[in-house]
Amino acid sequence: MRTSLRRALRRTFTDTLLPGGLLSVVLLAAVAKAALVTGLLYMLFPELAALSYDVFTRPAGAWARSPLLLAATPAMTAAMGTALTQAMAYNVWSVTLTIASAIAIVRVMRSPVVPAVSAAFLPLVFGIASWWYPISITAVMSVLGVASALYGWISGARDVGRTPPPDVPAQADQMEPAPRLKLWPFAFAAFLLLMYGLASVTGLRLILFPPLVVIAFEMFSRVHRGPWTKRPFAMPLVCTIAAAIGLAALATFGAGPLSVAFSLLASIAMLRVMRLHFPPALTIGLLPQIMPHADRSFVLAVALGSTALASAFLLARPVLLNQLGATSQPTSL
Q: Do 269 and 242 contact (CB within 8 A), yes or no?
A: no
Residue 6 lies inside a defined structural domain of this protein: no
Q: What is the DSSP letter of 169?
A: -
Residue 150 lies inside a defined structural domain of this protein: yes
Residue 7 lies inside a defined structural domain of this protein: no
pLDDT of residue 173: 45
Q: Which residues span the domain enclosing 248?
A: 13-324
Residue 331 lies inside a defined structural domain of this protein: no
> pLDDT tens digits for 243-280?
999 999 999 999 999 999 999 999 998 998 888 889 99
% helix / strand / coil in the chain, to the nearest 5? 75, 0, 25
Q: Do 148 and 56 contact (CB within 8 A), yes or no?
A: yes
CA distance 195 to 212: 10
Task: Kindly indicate the confidence band of residue 180, based on its pLDDT and cuts at 50, 70 and 90.
Answer: low
Residue 4 lies inside a defined structural domain of this protein: no
Note the pTM of the prediction, 2 decimals. 0.85
pLDDT of residue 73: 97
Residue 301 lies inside a defined structural domain of this protein: yes
The total domain count for the chain is 1
> pLDDT tens digits for 23-46?
889 999 999 988 888 888 888 889
CB atoms within 10 A of CB 104: 12
CA distance 259 to 244: 13
Residue 204 lies inside a defined structural domain of this protein: yes
pLDDT of residue 155: 61
Q: Do 128 and 82 contact (CB within 8 A), yes or no?
A: yes
CA distance 321 to 313: 11
Sorted by sequence, the CB contacts under 8 Å of residue 54 that are 6+ apart come out as 61, 63, 64, 279
pLDDT of residue 110: 94
